[in-house]
Amino acid sequence: MAGSPTFVIIGGGLAGAKAAEALRSKGFDGQVVLFGAEERLPYERPPLSKEFMAGKKTVEEFTVQPQSWYAEHDVDLKLGTEVTTLDRTAHMVAFNSGDHEHYDKLLLATGSRARKPPIPGSDAHGVYYLRTVDDANELLAQFTEGRRLAIIGAGWIGLEVAASARGLGADVTVVETAALPLQASLGKEAGEVFVGLHRDHGVDLRLGTTVDEITTADHKATGLRLGDGSTVEADAVLVAVGAQPNVEFAERSGLVIADGGLAVDESLKTSDDDIFAVGDIAAAEHPLFGVPIRTEHWANALKQPAVAVDGMLGTPGSYDELPYFFTDQFDLGMEYVGYAPQYQMAITRGDLGTREFTMFWLDGGHRVLAGMNVNIWEGLDDIKALIRSRRPVDVGALADPSVSLSTLAG
């Protein structure tokens, strides 16, 4: 394919693999080069804290494509390679191997890494972070009957790992600085549900509490010293305090940054016409909400690449999917859709006590901003329709299970 255009994908996760799939399925016959920092084939990350951590899935089951697929579709897959420099003028990327690659179009799908706060003792043996399969394997080895696990952070990763560890017999303590778990994501009302869920299953949940130190002996973690002077004894410590988007090299190149990631328009194009971004790093202008939204969730990695590829091929589209995420913890399964960083009221339909309900977040004009099904596996499309309608709803009817959501959605 001498003289044919070269499209380069940086990022060997779900988004990178889906971009390669989309390029070939949409008829691109030029060169496709996919770089991944890990030595593994591209895989999905949510199972690392869910099914894989619970022993219910193998890595092969959430690997996106087998090795043979890349050869069969003429995708040049280069693993174990990290980008170090982006030269936008020369249309060139440089890597830690010393190699360079020219691109005609570039897709950035570099994802994020675990945040590592400067806690004394965090460099000790027995302190873990969760981002890769290797991380998960190391952590999983700690989940045996009677082993003590301390988790710093009651976000999605922390709570999902807590549930998996308890299911395998470990004793678990979770420490969170906020008054409630998941407060930034779900607000007070839903946060209280997760408090009850974890305490009912034997998790020692310490809320509104800071960590002063990871205690050690012979350079091995032995637990936590908390801000109130109390201590937590542990055989292993997981630090789960969020993710850091991998955008440093892109920022150095002069690409515009927004919300901690790369600013992209509705077509997922960055401030450079030849560079697109998807997944964790993309702060995408949303056509419905009218603001840039960056979320570190599986749905974006799955669905954004096809839209970005359209733009790379000269037929730009618009990414208008509603933010979506899900979780499975103990006997609770949940799906959330929408965007409600600021809301005026939360309305519940169903029974919080039995943890079988739908919760809605509304603005001051009684418009639905987001909805969450807990242990209910129908009606998500109706919730999406309510959000997209941007119309006020009858709050009483919204809370009444006898009133069909499809009726309210019009």
Question: What would the CATH number be for the domain defined by 6-112+244-312?
Answer: 3.50.50.60
Query: What pLDDT sits at residue 164?
Result: 94
Helix (H) or strand (E) holding 190: helix 183-200
pLDDT at 208: 97
**CA–centroid distance for 51 within its chain:** 15
The residue ranges of DSSP E strands in 79-219, in sequence order, are: 83-87, 92-95, 100-102, 105-108, 112-114, 127-128, 148-152, 171-176, 204-207, 211-217
Q: Name the class of domain 331-409.
A: alpha beta
Residue 405 identity (one-letter amino acid): L
List of residues 6+ apart from 116 with CB closer than 8 A: 122, 129, 239
Both tokens of 245, joined, read 């988007």
The token pair at 355 is 């943890």
Domain boundaries, the chain: 6-112+244-312, 127-241, 331-409
244-271 pLDDT, tens digit per residue, is 999 999 999 999 999 999 999 999 999 9
Same fold, 127-241 and 331-409: no
Mean predicted confidence (pLDDT) in 222-236:
97
Tens-place pLDDT, residues 313-358: 999 999 999 999 999 999 999 999 999 999 999 999 999 999 999 9
Give me 280's structure tokens.
Answer: 């964790």
For residue 49, what pLDDT is reported? Answer: 94
Query: Each residue of 57-116: pLDDT tens digit?
Result: 999 999 999 999 999 999 999 999 999 999 999 999 999 888 899 999 999 999 999 999
pLDDT band for position 1 (cuts 50, 70, 90): very low
DSSP annotation of 264 reads: E
Fold of the 127-241 domain: FAD/NAD(P)-binding domain (3.50.50)
Cβ-contact 304, 282 below 8 angstroms: yes
Contacts of 331-336 with CB under 8 Å at 24 or more apart are 331/355, 331/375, 332/193, 332/197, 332/374, 332/375, 333/374, 333/375, 333/377, 334/372, 334/373, 334/374, 334/375, 335/372, 335/373, 335/380, 336/186, 336/370, 336/371, 336/372
The pLDDT-based confidence of 144 (bands split at 50, 70, 90) is: confident
Tens digits of residue pLDDT in 8-41: 999 999 999 999 999 999 999 999 999 999 999 9
Query: Which residue do the tokens 């037929």 mark?
Result: 315
Mean pLDDT for the stretch of residues 380-393: 96
pLDDT > 70 fraction of the chain, expressed in percent and rounded: 99
Average pLDDT, the chain: 96
Q: What percent of the chain has pLDDT over 90?
A: 95
